[in-house]
Each structure stands twice: as structure tokens, then as C-alpha cells.
Amino acid sequence: MLVQTVCLLSVRALTNLIQDDDQSIQSDEVMITKENLLKSMENMPDQFTVDELLDRVILLEKIETGLKQSEEGKTFSTDEARKKLKKWLK
């Protein structure tokens, strides 16, 4: 129960914190399925820290967000991505 609560709270907090400077790429709150989370946890060691668990939840949330954005056509061409990344790569 504690793990489920921590996961739920962290996903909600992360969803609120994750922001992008381009509003066109924003998407609605993404839900992680229990099945995907449990599958991912099966690959973790028998003992792990809460930080390691939260890192895994964050990774799953980002993957789900990316898949949803891709399905919705909220993607960038290579040229668009290069232009956006140019300011970060200085």
C-alpha cells in the first residue's frame, strides 16, 4: 500500500512539475498502468531505495507521455528539434 501511495503521489507531483517552453507539446495528465509498473518492478533488485523506485516511476511516466504525444502527432521534425536544441547546446 505504501508503494502504491508513493507512486501515485510522485506521478501527480511530477505531472504538475514537468513543463515545456513550447505549449504545443503539452499533454494531459498521463496515467501509468499498474501492469506496466509491476512489470518494471520485476526487473528491479529485491531491495531498492525509495529514490530508485521514484526514478523508475519517473521514467515510466516520461515514456508514457512520449508515446501519447507521438500518437497525437505532437512531434517535431529533425530540423525543428535542432532549432529548439540550438539554444541549449551553446
Could you report the per-residue pLDDT of 41-85, keeping only the tens digit for each?
Answer: 899 999 999 999 999 999 999 999 999 999 999 998 999 988 888
Q: Is the pTM of this model over 0.75?
A: no
Distance CA 7, CA 1 (A): 10
- DSSP single-letter state for residue 47: S
User: Per residue in 16-53, pLDDT tens?
Assistant: 444 444 444 444 678 888 898 899 889 999 999 999 99
Contacts of 14 (CB under 8 A, 6+ apart): 57, 58, 61
What is the spatial distance between Cα 6 and Cα 2, in angstroms, rounded to a whole number?
Answer: 6
Q: Which residues contact 64 (CB under 8 A, 6 or more apart)?
A: 30, 31, 32, 36
